[in-house]
Amino acid sequence: MYDVIIIGAGVAGSASARELSRYKVNACVLEREEDVCCGTSKANSAIVHAGYDAAEGSLMAKLNVEGNQMMPGLARELDFPFKQCGSFVVCLDEEQLPDLQALYERGVANGVKDMEVITDKARIREMEPNLTDQVAGVLYAPTAGIVCPFNLNIALAENAYANGARFMFDTKVQEIKRLEKGYELVTDQGNYRAEYVVNAAGVYADVFHNMVSARKIHIIERRGDYCLLDKSAGNH
């Protein structure tokens, strides 16, 4: 009987395991794939967003800003590469500058630090010489950054494991049963019991949620494409 079972060894599940492993908690992570970071986390955009985009007052806005502020310290503590390079939202039409200002004001309301709306083209080109001459203005968010999703996920999981959390791979959760005290998770590798369950199953989280909750939810997943240029392109 575990204190906590976490479903999913992506970045959310591994981060949960790492945080729980800081305490006297008997925690186990069940992952249906052969390793960490094999689901949604592996396709992450690698952007650590500043937090100006999320709706003001939303939980996403709160966690976005808090997570952004945690990342530099977390990178130092767990020794994974993180670059706080900042970000631009580029406006090519002066008539849309009010939209840029609205993003700025939303970011301020969310607690994002040190943002600027820059319309000085000379300064913009100095900061990013590869931008088009048509640029009318940019929203500059210096706290935004980039991180390798794999390195982050692996660092979190390794630290959790070193602290005593268990990871069970190739273990697919098929059913969750509510017990008088806690839960029983039926998997293709046997059954597991825990007092608490953390549902970190990504786009499949609704499946497990609906097994135990009367309030049903449905996740509509999104899918997109990235164009990976040859390393010889650009200046990096």
Catalytic residues: 49
Give which of 33, 29, 32 is closest to 15, Cα–Cα.
29
Give which of 143, 137, 142, 44 is closest to 96, Cα–Cα.
137
Q: What are phi and psi of 103, to 5 degrees?
A: -65, -40
CA angle at 205 for the pair 112 and 82, rounded to the nearest 5°: 40
CA distance 160 to 191: 22
Q: Which residues pair with 198 in a beta bridge?
A: 6
CB–CB of 91/45 below 8 Å?
no
CB–CB of 164/20 below 8 Å?
no
Contacts of 123 (CB under 8 A, 6+ apart): none
CA distance 207 to 180: 22
